[in-house]
Amino acid sequence: MALNISGAAIRKPIPSAVLFTVLLVLGVFSFIRIPITRAPNIDVPVVSVTITEAGAAPSELETQVTKKVEDAVANVTGVKHIYSTVTDGTSATTIELRLEIGADRALNDVKDAVAQIRADLPSTIDEPVIERIDVVGQSIETYAASAPGMTPETLSWFVDDVVLRQLRGVPGVGRVERIGGVTREIRVALDRDKLAALGVTAGDANRQLRATSVDLAGGRVEFGGREEAIRTLASTDDLATLGATRIVLPGGRDVRLRDVATITDGFEEPRSFARVNGETAVVSFAIYRAKGASDVQVSDRVREKLDALASSHPDVSYTLIDDSVRQSRGSYLSAMHSLLEGAALAVLVVLVFLRDWRAMFLAAVALPLSIIPAFWFMDLLGFSLNFVSLLAITLVTGILVDDAIVEIENIVRHIRMGKRPYDAAIEAADEIGLAVVAITCTVVAVFAPVSFMGGIPGQYFKQFGLTVAAAVLVSLAVARLVTPVMAAHMLRGGGAHEERDGAVMRAYLGLLSRTLARPKLTLGVGLTLFALSLWSTSLLPTGFIPPEDAARIVLSLELPP
């Protein structure tokens, strides 16, 4: 039979041994490097366009910038939703495209659309910032930094200049956001009456300050046999220097900034605050992982970095106030325990029904040989160990030994017919080769199409269906190439004998004979149960992801505008 490769594997076992040794090594290395995340990475084509113009009012930006950008990107292929937010000096437009449009293509299309209208936008705006938004979910951890000996501004500076810089360099960290604290701000309050008397508008003064307070390249110079870069430094954070800045007036005259404005050194208006156990003198920061990184690895690296910072700066302490990695780690460990328990139970079932420890050992070997190489395929496909892929692994545990059990049971049956184990393995494997392949293809045909669902559910269940399909296909290779080889050399012949049916088999045969004697009643009961099952599905609640107890309480409060 064309499907019988087991006979060749039994006669020449070395190629099969080498193949699965390589697959096991690749699977182990892939298992070590596969990231652990709570949920699969979702690739949603979302692009943001941010345009700033200092001093511009929201109404001006809406008519001169936002509407033009919206009209331009509306013609991009695959646009689903467009959201815009306009604040003082900033216009932010978010474009969401259909899932079948790749994220890279979406970014390039939006860039081209904005470039076509760039000449129609005001010349005073900054260059548009167009970037792709990677959807990685909520922050994985949030810490609070506190230092009794520091003022809020000193602690905020320390977090910005030391802590966040160190954490942004940690591999796997996507971004770090500060929550609370204060930010230094030098405010220039222009006197409208004085400006009007001098014939200058606030916009003129603003543009002159922006033009003069900038650092520029100044060329290169030979110094001491080396070429050095020269920069002209014009920005300043000193109030006296800033107050001495000259504002050019019509007619060639000028005036000092301090003569037409009040300059104060203060802080930005706070937009957020952090509080731990009623204490407000803290600055918190949220950690977001990069796309494709592991929650657990990023968490461990961040904690190592914070421990090092705590050692070098003992006056600052760090408190973990929110941790979603604990749930990811717990789900991973729980899935691994379930996997081991399921494997042990599957092996015990083989022992109970075949009553042969050698057959039990063959089934036990088939499980890791099927599961471990599946991790290599998951790594090749860019999957992670999340609740979806782990569900697939644990669900498929019992299925993975099906092919091996069928092979083993048939080989044992041939041995009990009086054949040598070697001959029994060849003949038994040849006898059921097509049936084993059909069983596996049926499972693949059921689960693989789940991976090609549309929308967000399709992106979630892509990992589910393909993980099951990969593991089951590997189990087919194990059943065809490894199990018969091991059975041919490990099982022992005991001469021809006929096994007596046990109590379970006798009870089953009795039930079977009674159902066959009453075919109409049997079919009627079956159809009734099937109809009741269909009706029961309408009573079940529906949802995308079932609710779970994450041992966290999050309170959101939205105030009226």
For the beta carbon of residue 306, count every other beta carbon within 10 angstroms.
21
What is the DSSP secondary structure assignment for residue 64, as one 8-state letter? I
The CATH fold of domain 141-183+271-323: Alpha-Beta Plaits (3.30.70)
The answer to whether the beta carbons of residues 31 and 290 sit under 8 Å apart is: no
Residue 410 and residue 266: Cα distance in Å, rounded? 84
What is the mean predicted confidence (pLDDT) over 330-355?
83
Structural class in CATH, domain 46-132? alpha beta
Where in the chain do CATH 3.30.70.1430 domains reside?
A: 46-132
Vertex 130: Cα angle to 168 and 66 (nearest 5) = 130
- Over the chain, what is the mean pLDDT? 83
- Using a pLDDT cut of 90, give the percent of the chain over it: 14
What is the mean predicted confidence (pLDDT) over 360-389?
88
Distances (CA, A) of 377 to 34, 224, 372: 11, 58, 10
Where in the chain do CATH 3.30.2090.10 domains reside?
A: 185-220+228-267
What is 6-39+328-522's CATH number? 1.20.1640.10
pLDDT at 136: 60
Residue 296 makes CB contacts below 8 A (sequence gap 6+) with 36, 325, 328, 329, 332
The answer to whether the beta carbons of residues 243 and 256 sit under 8 Å apart is: yes
pLDDT at 121 over 90: no
Residue 516 and residue 217: Cα distance in Å, rounded? 93
pLDDT at 367 over 60: yes
Query: In the chain, helix, strand, coil percent, each to 5?
Result: 55, 15, 30
* Identity at 298, one-letter amino acid code: V
What is 185-220+228-267's CATH number? 3.30.2090.10
Model confidence over 433-448: pLDDT tens digits? 888 888 888 889 988 8
pLDDT at 30: 92
- Please tell me the pTM assigned to this model: 0.75
* Identity at 208, one-letter amino acid code: Q
The answer to whether the beta carbons of residues 164 and 285 sit under 8 Å apart is: yes
Residue 49 makes CB contacts below 8 A (sequence gap 6+) with 69, 73, 92, 93, 94, 95, 110, 114, 128, 129, 130
Query: Residue 405 in 3-state DSSP?
Result: helix
pLDDT at 307: 92
| Top mean-pLDDT range of 84-98, 133-147, 301-315 | 301-315
What is the mean predicted confidence (pLDDT) over 281-287?
85
What is the mean predicted confidence (pLDDT) over 105-121?
89
For the beta carbon of residue 341, count every other beta carbon within 10 angstroms.
12
- Using a pLDDT cut of 70, give the percent of the chain over it: 92
pLDDT band at 1 (very low <50, low <70, confident <90, very high): very low
pLDDT at 468 over 50: yes
pLDDT band at 2 (very low <50, low <70, confident <90, very high): very low
Residue with tokens 């088999």: 505
pLDDT at 496 over 70: no
Residue 54 and residue 86: Cα distance in Å, rounded? 13
Where in the chain do CATH 3.30.70.1320 domains reside?
A: 141-183+271-323
Where in the chain do CATH 1.20.1640.10 domains reside?
A: 6-39+328-522
